[in-house]
Amino acid sequence: MTDKRKSSLILTTPLTRRTALKGLAGGLGAAAALGTAPGFVRYAQAASSEPIKIGFECHRTGIGAAYGRWYERTTNAAVKLINDAGGINGRPIQLIIEDDGTDAKRGTEVMEKFASEHKVDVVFGTLFSNVVIANGPTAGELKMPYYVVSEGHQVASGKMNRYVFQPGITDVKSQVMSVAPFIVGNLGKKVTQIFPDYAFGYDHRDNLPPAIEKAGGKVMAQIAIPPTEKSFTRYFPQIPADTDVIYHVMVGPAVLTFVKEMGEFYGSKGPQLFSFIDSLEAVDMATPGLEFLNGSHFWEGSPRYLQANAGEAQKFYRDHVGIDDNGAAKGDPKDVSTAGHMFGCWETLYVIKKAMEDAGYQGPDDKKKLIEATEAMTAFAEGKEHPQGDKTFNGKIHQCFGHQNISKFEDKKLTVVHRTSIEDGMYEPEGDYTTEKL
């Protein structure tokens, strides 16, 4: 009900960019004005028909804008569905979007604005880690429940605070650990890592070797590439000759150059390749130059391409977000989605809904109850609310754990060839937020 437009109330037109975004502006006046619309009949029976305000801090501009666009579309789709089904505790969600420019300092300003000006019930949606890291302490000071969709390890590391959660997407440490058994078991035991020489690369550098060794393999070499590098050929001779698998997680505009040059270096008979879709998220896999990746494997959070064995929940989710069988926007095949990650927005919203229902959430006075109800969750079943798959949730570190998809790139498509178990990505908790005072 974040939009007064009829399409958000009656399922007649396809979801659009604006459908779920608009502020109520008139608050209750909107409900009164449209009181005859079917969507509102249900709300009228709730104790209060005032909306639940969710502040959506979105990377609308700046370096994260390509992700922000799809986070926004996915979020709109989920909010619309929740509202069409009666909202949360009989109250509609009002989504208030603020752009943070993918800028850490602006992120904290937005967080404060959500608290003081918009007076939201929860804040949701941040992706980029630098923004999450800056926002976490602010959320704690403001006692604002803050649900991030970042896949960073910062929440699970125990270094944030009791108000910060990541219940809708697994963290990078878990992802890296869980792919190791597949790599060693199927691609080869001798692994060489190539990664950009900064924090993102270090997650892979630090978390992969122990998992590879546990699976019976060995990391032969770790090659760190300076982030400003534009050409990579001179690094390839550093790859040990007996390497079975190259594990590469390059990101940024030079990824395509990296792939092309690696193809030129190895020709048709190089080692096996394993990567994370982060490298090519939102990039059309049918792009010239990517042929060299044929036969290589990728981690995907949620599969970009509709799989032959996809369940009803996955189809339902894709249909409502508006992506086609190739993971691109319906009717705009070149607008490839960030399918590997954006499901996290959808699932997080359903976690917020469930937690509010469990807490009997009525308003900001119930924020402590909401925190405790979120922490009390232990598992999410696969279904329309969790289309990526079932998950467990560790209330002590505020982090979910789930299955990961390993997809093979063939015929210009990614096909899931292995799905990790939740246990593959489990690790000892590094903290316990529940001991902190609320």
Give, as ranges, the residues between 385 and 424 that touch another protein (CB under 8 A). none
Least CB distance to another protein at residue 83 (A): 14
Compute the half-sphere exposure of residue 41: CA atoms within 13 Å on the CB side of its CA: 4
Backbone φ/ψ region at 87: left (φ over 0), alpha (ψ -120 to 50), beta: left
17 binds another protein (CB under 8 A): yes
Structure tokens given for 229: 């590098």
Give, as ranges, the residues between 284 and 323 that touch another protein (CB under 8 A). 284, 287-289, 322
104 binds another protein (CB under 8 A): yes
Q: Site for another protein (CB under 8 A): which residue of 43, 67, 299, 361?
A: 67
Tell me whether residue 210 or residue 252 sits nearer to another protein (CB atom).
252
- Written as one string, the DSSP assignment of 378-428 is -EE-SBTTBTT--EEEETTTTEEEE--EEEEEETTEEEEEEE--GGGG---
Tell me whether residue 190 or residue 304 sits nearer to another protein (CB atom).
304
Cα–Cα distances in Å, from 192 out to 114, 211, 236, 243, 300? 45, 14, 11, 6, 20
Tell me whether residue 84 or residue 358 sits nearer to another protein (CB atom).
84
| Residues contacting another protein: total by CB under 8 A | 93
At 123 the three-state DSSP class reads strand
Q: Provide the β-strand partners of residue 410.
A: 413
Least CB distance to another protein at residue 201 (A): 9
Q: Site for another protein (CB under 8 A): which residue of 38, 48, 185, 202?
A: 202
- CA–CA dist 29, 235 (Å, integer): 64
- CA–CA dist 350, 315 (Å, integer): 17
At 170 the three-state DSSP class reads coil
Contacts of residue 319, defined as CB under 8 A and 6 or more positions apart, other chains included, come to none
Contacts of residue 239, defined as CB under 8 A and 6 or more positions apart, other chains included, come to 192, 194, 221, 223, 246, 271
Give, as ranges, the residues between 217 and 276 that touch another protein (CB under 8 A). 227-228, 230, 251-257, 260
Least CB distance to another protein at residue 105 (A): 4
Tell me whether residue 323 or residue 377 sits nearer to another protein (CB atom).
323
Taking a C-beta distance cutoff of 8 angstroms, is the pair 156, 398 a contact? Answer: yes
**Region near another protein per CB under 8 A, out of 39-47, 66-74, 236-244, 372-380:** 66-74
**Region near another protein per CB under 8 A, out of 81-89, 191-199, 295-303, 415-423:** 191-199
21 binds another protein (CB under 8 A): yes
Least CB distance to another protein at residue 210 (A): 15
- Pick from 156, 151, 150: nearest CA to 123: 150
Q: x/- contact string, 164-183, with another protein (CB under 8 A)?
A: --------xx----------
Q: Provide the β-strand partners of residue 91.
A: 88
159 binds another protein (CB under 8 A): yes
37 binds another protein (CB under 8 A): no
Q: Site for another protein (CB under 8 A): which residue of 43, 146, 200, 350?
A: 200
Residue 264 has phi, psi (to 5 degrees) of -70, -35
Tell me whether residue 106 or residue 367 sits nearer to another protein (CB atom).
106
54 binds another protein (CB under 8 A): no
Q: Site for another protein (CB under 8 A): which residue of 31, 52, 54, 58?
A: 58
154 binds another protein (CB under 8 A): yes
- Pick from 294, 291, 237: nearest CA to 265: 237
- CA–CA dist 259, 253 (Å, integer): 11
Tell me whether residue 280 or residue 351 sits nearer to another protein (CB atom).
280
119 binds another protein (CB under 8 A): no
Give, as ranges, the residues between 72 and 91 that touch another protein (CB under 8 A). 72
31 binds another protein (CB under 8 A): no
Tell me the H-state helices in 114-219: 129-142, 172-182, 199-214
Least CB distance to another protein at residue 86 (A): 20
At 42 the three-state DSSP class reads helix
Give, as ranges, the residues between 326 and 385 that touch another protein (CB under 8 A). 328-329, 331-336
Tell me whether residue 51 or residue 152 sits nearer to another protein (CB atom).
152
Tell me whether residue 201 or residue 389 sits nearer to another protein (CB atom).
201
**Region near another protein per CB under 8 A, out of 7-15, 263-271, 297-305, 310-318:** 7-15
Instruction: Count the Cβ atoms, other than its own, within 10 Å of residue 265.
Output: 15
- Pick from 52, 53, 56, 76: nearest CA to 125: 56
